Structure 1
Amino acid sequence: MRLKKQKRHRKSVRFYTACFGFREPFKVLCDGTFVHHLLVNRITSANDSLSNLLGAPAKLFTTRCVLGELKSLGESYGESLQAARNLATARCDHEKRRSAVGCITGVIGENNPEHFFVATQDTDLRNKFQEVVSGSENEFKEIEIPGVPVIFGLRNSLFLEPPSAIQRQYVKSTEEERLHMTESEYKMLQKREINKLANQEASNSTDAHEGLGNQTVMAQPKINAARKTMGVMDEVQFKRKKAKGPNPLSCKKKKSHGSPSLLPNLVCKDGDDASKKRNRKRKSRKSIKLSEADS
């Protein structure tokens, strides 16, 4: 039974996430009756129990009007008042204190923009989010507050109400409306078609004023286009590789590493050839002293 209940709850959570845009972590708006039920039945770890119920982390909220209502009930609800003060407070712009039902409906608004789960034990508040306002039977926009999941407690366990048949029909009607075009989109398409026709008429008028020479010139690209469609190619798609010459750097002459004399053969003044060795041995001091001693 526990597995069936979890599957049912996961299915309803997926419905609200897919159709109404609920995202993790889920926000749960609690009233005084739900907080008092948790304390009476000793469900102390409210965050863990709600996260297990929804299959994702949850954050609990309350309002100032709910706190004021609990405070007005007296000492019997003192513990529930302290527990409610530990929760995060949702913003409610009410100058005067309202009842919990009126405050929660005001916070949720018409479309539930904050995507709140409502946790309550009040049957009137539970039915309020699924009732239909007076209107035509075929229109499902007369739902007062669509897309508000309700959580309630039964002894030591918590339950999530499945989406009603009216909510499912509302989702189907909105999906069908999205498939059809709106009036603004239909007008935009009409303007585009009118502009296309005007451009085609202008292009046809310019082509009619051109001469026959231009017609012959314009015939060639049409033929090329036809050939491309048939898969015929006029030119070769690739070029064949030709034999290239040798690398010019490899043909360069090698430089000689020796130190040959670069000067040309010149004739000296005394008639001696200039091809004699220029690099003569330098006389050392010892050789000079020996030659002086011999003399």
Structure 2
Amino acid sequence: MRVKKQKRHRKSVRFYTACFGFRQPFKVLCDGTFVHHLVSHAIKPADNALSNILSAPVKLFTTKCVIAELKGLGISYSESLQAAHLLAPARCDHENSTSADACIKDIIGQNNSEHFFVASQDVDLRKSLQEIPGVPVIYGLRKALFLEPPSSFQREFVKNSEEKRMHMTELEYKMLRKRKNRSADEETNDSPDENDDSEDDNNGMGIETKPKTARKGIDVKDKVQFKRKRAKGPNPLSCKKKKSQDKPNLVPEREKTDGENSMRSRGRQRKRTRKGKKIDGLVSILSTADLP
């Protein structure tokens, strides 16, 4: 049940913030009956209890007329009188103290310009405030506090105001007609009949006339031509210069000096050993030596 109650309270708070411009911290105007209810049921601290309902910080207010009414009720309301003195005073222009209901109604007025939440236990006062647009009402039931949902009158008022915003008013309609008439007059002044006759005469004489541009005296293209962004090369100033690398000679060269002339040999020449021919020579020598 607590979750459903919180959802219902949040919906009603969103309604008043979106449609009537309520802003945080919310201002709560308390009368004597509500203060006495908080004291008798030991709902302390009161600002925390109200902030839990509205899910936002809260400031509590009361009036001089409410305090005067609590004084006249006697000793049984002394504790509630002390608690009312701790609340911030709302501006009350009554020189002579009046009833709390009349004082609260005067402060609220016709449209609740100060954006007050009214906290009261008086049923008649709550019903009368529901007929005024943009007046949320809070009441207590034992140790629980409740925010009344927006009344049918307040919802209808919001719908009618939205429909009026969708349609033009009489002043806006007159202004629009004046603008249309001005634009029509300017078009007629820009294209007179005399210029047309002079152009026809020039065409008959064989004189070519240049077409008029949209802007007089300036040859400006009607459409703006955008250049495509293309990939550019690197900045040559920010690039390092290429180093010239000389290829080293893989084959070393040696110089051979024979007298005055010098000869260069690129590599070591390989000497081949002819083992097969030496063996053949030895065999022939041995064969001759054995003969008598």
Distance (Å, rounded) in 1 between the aligned partners of 2:39 and 2:171: 54
Distance (Å, rounded) in 2 between the aligned partners of 1:95 and 1:221: 71
Rg larger in 1 or in 2? 2
Distance (Å, rounded) in 2 between the aligned partners of 1:177 and 1:102: 32
Q: Shift in Å at residue 215 of structure 1?
A: 7.4
**Counterpart in 2 of 1:13?**
13
**Where has structure 1 moved over 4 Å in runs of 4 or more?**
219-226
Q: Shift in Å at residue 45 of structure 1?
A: 0.7
Q: Shift in Å at residue 96 of structure 1?
A: 1.4
Q: Note closer, same or farther for the CA distance 1:218–1:237 as it changes in structure 2 (3 Å cut).
A: farther
- 2:179 corresponds, among 165, 172, 192, to 192
| Structure 2, unpaired ranges of 5+ | 230-292
**Counterpart in 1 of 2:135?**
148
Deviations 1:63-113, CA, capped at 9 Å, x for gaps: 000000001111111110110000000001112111011000001111101
Return the letter of the residue paired with 2:35. V
Deviations 1:193-245, CA, capped at 9 Å, x for gaps: 1100110110111643653479721168899968x69x9x9xx999xxxxxxx
**Counterpart in 2 of 1:112?**
112
**Counterpart in 2 of 1:202?**
189
Distance (Å, rounded) in 2 between the aligned partners of 1:215 and 1:172: 64
SS in 1 for 2:102: helix
TM-score (structure 2 length as normaliser): 0.70
Q: Note closer, same or farther for the CA distance 1:50–1:220 as it changes in structure 2 (3 Å cut).
A: closer
TM-score (structure 1 length as normaliser): 0.69
Return the letter of the residue paired with 1:79. E
- In the alignment, is the contact (CA less than 8 A) between 2:36 and 2:77 conserved in 1? yes
Distance (Å, rounded) in 1 between the aligned partners of 2:228 and 2:214: 19
- 1:161 corresponds, among 114, 135, 148, to 148
Return the letter of the residue paired with 2:90. A
**Counterpart in 2 of 1:39?**
39
Alignment of 1:67-82 (within 5 A): 67-82=67-82
SS in 2 for 1:60: strand
Q: Shift in Å at residue 129 of structure 1?
A: 1.2
Q: Note closer, same or farther for the CA distance 1:219–1:30 as it changes in structure 2 (3 Å cut).
A: closer
**Counterpart in 2 of 1:218?**
211
Q: Note closer, same or farther for the CA distance 1:237–1:76 as it changes in structure 2 (3 Å cut).
A: closer
SS in 1 for 2:191: helix
Root-mean-square deviation (CA, aligned residues, Å) is 2.7
Q: Note closer, same or farther for the CA distance 1:109–1:219 as it changes in structure 2 (3 Å cut).
A: closer
SS in 2 for 1:158: strand
Q: Note closer, same or farther for the CA distance 1:221–1:50 as it changes in structure 2 (3 Å cut).
A: closer
SS in 2 for 1:200: helix
SS in 1 for 2:210: helix
Distance (Å, rounded) in 1 between the aligned partners of 2:213 and 2:70: 89
| Structure 1, unpaired ranges of 5+ | 132-144, 239-295
- In the alignment, is the contact (CA less than 8 A) between 2:133 and 2:153 conserved in 1? no
